[in-house]
Structure 1
Amino acid sequence: MAKRKLLCVLRHILRIDLKKLILALATCGVVLSLLNTLFASYQVHKEAFIKDTLHANQTYATKLAEVTQLFLQSVNSQLNVSAFHIAENIDDTSLVNAELERLLSQTNSFDSLVVASADGQIIAVRPELPVLGQSISSQQLHKVMLQKPVVLDPFVSPAGNLMISPTYPLFDGQGQYLGFVAGGIYLHGDTILNRLLGRHHYADGSYSYVVDKAHRILYHPDPDRIGEQVSNNVVIDRVLNGQTGAMELVNSSDKHMIAGFAAIPMTGWGVVSQRPLISILNQLAITHRSVVYSSVPFTIVILGWVFVVGFLIARPLTVLAKQLTVVENKNVSGAGVSAWYYEVANLKCALLQSHRAVRQVIRALDADRKTDKLTALHNRLSLDLWLENTIKFKVGFSVLAIDIDHFKSINDSHGHCTGDKVLKELAKLMIQNARADDFCCRVGGEEFLIFMPNESLSQAMITAERLRTLISNHIMPNGIRVTVSIGVSQWPNNSMQIDKVIEMADKALYQAKQSGRNKSCCLEAA
């Protein structure tokens, strides 16, 4: 008897009825929607994180390459001045040494300086090193015999230092080649080159390094790797071919990296800035946990509401089902069935509201990733989507490429906070003076683009001049006045690629910069 009662209880608990089906279905719907939203959010954020890191590393590598190029040009100018004085006094060792001492004390660019005769023999050195009277290698002599400024490939000096050496030729008054002056820049230790390049090294494993044409590492945060030759690295192969870009790769240490790279034209060296993929995924995991923690309370509230509503929906039908089990019951009414359809309609409405709330969260996340956080303008991702629609519907447009003149001096003089205020104010001026269907975006730093659908090139130039004049007369935060240079081009809805139009706008902007800034220039499609 007891066993039979236990079986009845178990059957009652395990019995599939309408209430359980509704609650199970509603619960599954909410949970699966949440999981789908979280998965989609994770994928979107992952793609955005990687894309932003690729762009940031490429930009940083380019900046490092430019800084190194400027440093080497500065070194070349210093040697040029000294070469003139040394050539005049080549036969007076004391005056030559005095000039070398002057150059060493004037700048911290060099670790050592030497003067060599036309046949490569060292005739003066500062500071004093045991190399006087020795000759440079035939390979180095062959390079300096070109009688023009060159940067010698890394080598181990007679004093035992791994170094690079910018050189400058010496000529007398009649143009006769006398030899050369060379500056030594050490690659090991606390040197000027290491201090110049060693500012990008973070706890997450990000770092930069420099390689020469022989795939040899000239700078690396790990001093033991300086001088090492690296092979089977596609990024190094590309940057030494003069390319600039960014990509994902597995490096020589079998680590998945996000790398940006840029070449140094003066020497043929390459700069690589990279970040481990695992650090990006760790950061993404932290962000995604915040999304999950924010979603859980709301999901719990929804589930509680679904259980209550589900019970209310199932209750009339449950009563009706119980009544139907008793054949003799003459009080069976169809009113319960009618109520069942009404409640189902309300449940459907509630579920639709739930999905609508989830879609709003997705739209908010999508809008956030398409918007520049500083200026509230569109960003590059939003620009790509807009251009896709423009190509699809073949809508002609004019484009304005805008760049703030001497923006770096504002950051240097007033601080980055003021610089950010200037960027925000400029964005407001752009939006206030744009048409309703114009597309304003920030593409990086102080660079902006305005796309003007169905606008002629001549009218776009008028708009550019009006905007340029407005900005130059506008008082920015902290009383700052700025000017902009604007390049204008047009996509006339023909076979010309849109990338070429934007490139033409950049070229026109470059012309405006070269011709004195605070100007508008245009290039028209052929």
Structure 2
Amino acid sequence: MKRAFRVDLKKLILALATCGVLLTSFNTLFASYQVHKNAFIKDTLHANRVYATKLAQVTELFLQSVNSQLNVSAYHISQRFDDLNAVNQELERLLSQTNSFDSLVVVNPQGQIIAVKPDLDILGMSISPAQLRQVKHQQPIVLDPFRSPADNLMVSPTYPIRTSDGKYLGFVAGGIYLQGETILSRLLGRHHYVDGSYLYVVDGQSRILYHANASRIGEQVFGNAVINEVLKGRVGASEIVNSTGIQMIAGFAPVPMTGWGVVSQRPMASILNELGATHKAVIYSSIPFTVLILALILVVGVQIAKPLTLLAKQLATFNRQQSDATRIFAWYFEAANLKHTLIQSNRSVRRVIKALDTDRKTDKLTSLHNRLSLEYWLENAIRNEVGLSVLAIDIDHFKRINDIHGHSTGDGVLKELAALMVCNARSDDFICRAGGEEFLMFLPKIALNEALCIAERLRKQVFEHTMPQNIKITVSIGVAYWQGNTTTIEEAIELADQALYRAKHTGRNRSCCIDAV
């Protein structure tokens, strides 16, 4: 009779067949998600293309305005080119009249700077041969980005200066900084989205002229398909992965006057977040009866899975924390059987593991930690990068004790010394027997000077303490410090050993230290 009413996995599988309802719901939701995703991406591609085109036009208009301003100044300068005071007055007038320029210079046909405003230490200098080649056609042009003598990255629109009879006298150039709060950053610095979207501008050599991340200005970008397209004079949009590995929706447009390219990008993640919000609305508007069915199946599924899940967690974590499988409500046969087996096996395995773990990590003679336990402790110390001091401790003339009093007495001395070290240690300190009569003590968050004081206190206590059979011993101690990030902890231990050797060679029964590493 009991077997007939027993709940087993076979019956549960038949009951869970109702989950077929979920397949239909999920299929509908998935199809809806894909349709909306494609629509969102298409709309964003269009919006970024339009936005990039708009800013490219704004940049073009700004450069045309700059060109007109330089044209007027070039005319006035040509009338009184030989009068440097008049030339400087014209530069001051233009600089005070507009905020388009950060500096202005006049350059003669040989490339020498003959006037500059504001006053900078570049008067009399010559422009680079590359810049001189750029202006050799004696036409208005925007020089390629360059570093000024003041180490400012800048671009410079230029306009030729000619007399009324057409004689070429040089050119006037306006300097526009690319870094900091500049006219370009004010024109381009605000994006119509505030979700990680950003905009950048590149010149004809793929160098970044403007970027939301100011540290990237001046960087030359290679292998970017969008930049390659916009520098060919094309307007468009596409999905790309940026230089930091983030998937983006990018729109791009060129600035015809300079050959620059404007790229507007929005993270795909922000689109998917917006899509997720829309998709939630679709889910919330689903048929109530379907929601009710899903809720019932969910409740039943949770109740079935709950005991198995809890038992699996107990099985996975029993080696890291104390488990109590007796509190799990196993309401069907397989779960109840598994629960009973797990409880019995956990009890047996924990007893064995605890005994073995304690045995393999403990020095049998002194009950201190051994080398294996030291390895685990050092791994944790290295991972936490907490500075610590190292004490290397060695009993002076220990072989003489064994030779005179016997090894059993020597063992008693080792035990007594271990007890003294434990009494002097904090709860966070770590003491291990390194081998023979050598010990290591690690003092977390203790500086070198303080550790040396602790070592001296321990040394004096050992000197004053009477060991078994009224034996008096002394110890030599080497002290070193590990800062946690400048070198390996093994090197700190080696320095402590070197300090110990120094203590041995300078008379024993003393503490020596090596400077912090």
Query: TM class, shorter-chain normalised?
Result: 0.5 to 0.7
Q: Secondary structure at the match of 1:8?
A: coil
Match of 1:147 among 135, 138, 150: 138
> 2:398 maps to what in 1?
none
Counterpart of 2:213 (choices 195, 216, 222) is 222
Q: C-alpha displacement at 1:294, in angstroms?
A: 3.1
Deviations 1:97-130 (A, max 9, x none): 1111111111110000011111111111111111
Mapped partners of 1:55, 1:36: distance in 2:
29
Q: What is the aligned partner in structure 2 of residue 117 from structure 1?
A: 108
SS in 2 for 1:243: coil
Q: Return the alpha-carbon distance in structure 2 between the equivalents of residues 259 and 185 of structure 1.
A: 27
Q: What's the Cα RMSD here?
A: 2.7
Once the 2 structures are TM-superposed, how far is the Cα of residue 298 of structure 1 from its aligned partner? 4.7
Rounded Cα–Cα distance in structure 1 between residues aligned with 2:94 and 2:258? 23
Distance (whole Å) between structure 1 residues aligned to residue 170 and residue 242 of structure 2: 43
- Identical aligned residues as a percent: 66
CA distance in 2, matches of 1:139, 1:14: 82
CA contact 1:131–1:159 (8 Å) conserved in 2? no
Judged with a 3 Å threshold, the aligned counterparts in structure 2 of structure 1 residues 33 and 177 are, in CA distance, closer, same or farther, namely same
Offset, 1:15: 7.8
Shift of 1:183: 0.4
> Displacement of 1:24 after TM fit?
8.1
Given candidates 256, 268, 287, the residue that maps to 1:277 is 268
Are residues 129 and 298 of structure 1, via their aligned partners in 2, closer, same or farther at CA, if it must alter by over 3 Å?
Answer: farther
Q: Which amino acid aligns with 1:287?
A: T
For 1:164 and 1:209, the matched residues in 2 are separated by 15
Deviation per residue, 1:430-477 (Å, 9 max, x gap):
xxxxxxxxxxxxxxxxxxxxxxxxxxxxxxxxxxxxxxxxxxxxxxxx
Which of residues 163, 174, 180 is equivalent to 1:172? 163
| Contact 1:152 1:166 survives alignment (8 Å) | yes
From 173, 177, 185, the counterpart of 1:186: 177
Q: Partner amino acid for 2:262?
A: V
Q: What's the counterpart of residue 508 of structure 2?
A: none
Q: Describe the shift of the 1:36–1:126 C-alpha distance in structure 2 as closer, same or farther (beyond 3 A).
A: same
Q: Give the CA deviation at 1:153.
A: 0.5
Give the 3 Å change call, closer, same or farther, for CA 226–201 of structure 1 in structure 2. Answer: farther
Q: Tell me whether 291-300 or 251-260 shows the greater mean CA deviation.
A: 291-300
Normalising by structure 2, report the TM-score. 0.54
Equivalents in 2 of 1:185, 1:198: separation in Å? Answer: 15
> Structure 1: 5+ residue runs without aligned partners?
307-526
Alignment-derived partner of residue 281 in structure 2: 290
Please give the alpha-carbon distance, in whole angstroms, between the structure 2 residues aligned to 1:15 and 1:61. Answer: 62
What is the letter of the counterpart of residue 142 of structure 1? Answer: R
CA offsets per residue over residues 502-526 of structure 1, 9 Å max, x none?
xxxxxxxxxxxxxxxxxxxxxxxxx
Aligned pair partner of 1:236 in 223, 227, 230: 227
Which of the residues 149, 156, 160 maps onto 2:147? Answer: 156
Q: 1:249 to 1:177 in 2, by over 3 A?
A: same
Match in the other structure for 1:74: 65
Name the CA shift for 1:254/1:304 in 2 (closer, same or farther; >3 Å): closer
TM-score (norm 1): 0.53
CA drift of 1:210 comes to 0.6
Mapped to 2, the partners of 1:15 and 1:49 lie a distance apart of: 45
Structure 1 contact 201–221 (Cα < 8 Å) conserved: no
Kindly state the Cα deviation for residue 28 of structure 1 after the two structures are TM-superposed.
5.1
- Between the two proteins, the alignment pairs up a number of residues equal to 297
Q: Distance in 2 between matches of 1:12 and 1:224?
A: 65
Which residue of 108, 111, 128 maps to 1:137? 128
Give 1:7's aligned residue. 3
Distance 1:236 1:6 in 2: 75
Q: Which runs of 5+ in 2 are unaligned?
A: 298-517
* Shift in Å, 1:141: 1.0
Q: Secondary structure at the match of 1:257?
A: strand
The one of 86, 93, 108 equivalent to 1:95 is 86
Bigger radius of gyration: 2
Instruction: Specify whether residues 76 and 31 from structure 1 end up closer, same or farther in structure 2 by C-alpha distance, changes over 3 A only.
Output: same
- Aligned pairs for 1:462-481 within 5 A: none
1:278 is paired with a residue whose SS is helix
